[in-house]
Amino acid sequence: MISEICISFIYLLLSQKADIVGELQNRYDKIKDFKTEFKQSYYSANGTLLMESSGNLYYKKSGMFKWEYKTPKEKEFIVKGNKLFVYLKDDSIVYVDEDFKSSQMKLVLLFLYGEGSIEREFNIDKVEEETEFVRILLTPKESSSQVARLIIHLRKKEKNVEKLEITDRLNNRNVFYFEKIVFDTGLKESFFNFKIPDGVEVSPIPKDMFK
């Protein structure tokens, strides 16, 4: 009897996991575009806060997004097609990744694309329900990933991702908070065009930039 109860409990837990992750997947599959304000906190492995940043994030299917950092320094991350541009305004340099789709960073941002499968790319290790939020702990199925785990904080009612925690293999942690999320705003594809400014240095993106 006890073993049957345990098996039933495990089955129920797995079903709940699948339902919650399925709802999250469906939510983002239907989105055409969105924009949101974000705050980012970066912690070392021992928990020391190393940097705080803030700005705006814009996204449009298929696979176009722009991170505009406003503080502490202005910089932009723009993805369109297979290319990633990183523009560091204060340093007058543009880094270019010609094959961003094969980058490890896509794993970090996969759920924002709404174009991949969470369950295909990640192991769903734990789902914890709180009063207003659901915490989903994910680990990548690719052992070569630079990402050790992700924690998604999902608001129950709206099914919006309002917090994302990313921990790397060295146990450094990036925490993103998303505010004032607006969906299906009609963003134009041209909004994600990037023209390299005159007079700036252009360089291939460093391999360790997203470690």
Cis peptide before 15 (omega within 30 of 0): no
Q: Is residue 116 domain-resident?
A: yes
Q: Is residue 209 domain-resident?
A: no
Q: Is residue 191 domain-resident?
A: yes
Question: 120 is written with which tokens?
Answer: 């295909």
Q: Is residue 136 domain-resident?
A: yes
Mean pLDDT in the chain?
A: 80
Determine if residue 205 is left, alpha or beta; phi over 0 gives left, psi from -120 to 50 gives alpha, anything else beta: beta
pTM, 2 dp:
0.80
Q: Is residue 35 domain-resident?
A: yes
Q: Domain of 155: which CATH number?
A: 2.50.20.10
Q: Is residue 165 domain-resident?
A: yes
The DSSP 8-state label assigned to residue 16 in this structure reads H
Residue 35 is predicted with a pLDDT of 92
- Collect all residues with Cβ–Cβ distance below 8 Å to 16 and sequence separation of at least 6: 127
Q: Is residue 32 domain-resident?
A: yes
Tens-digit pLDDT profile for residues 55-106: 999 988 877 889 999 999 999 999 888 888 999 999 999 999 888 765 555 5
Contact present, 185 and 53 (Cβ < 8 Å): no
* Number of separate domains in the chain: 1
Per the structure, the complete domain to which residue 135 belongs is given by 2-204
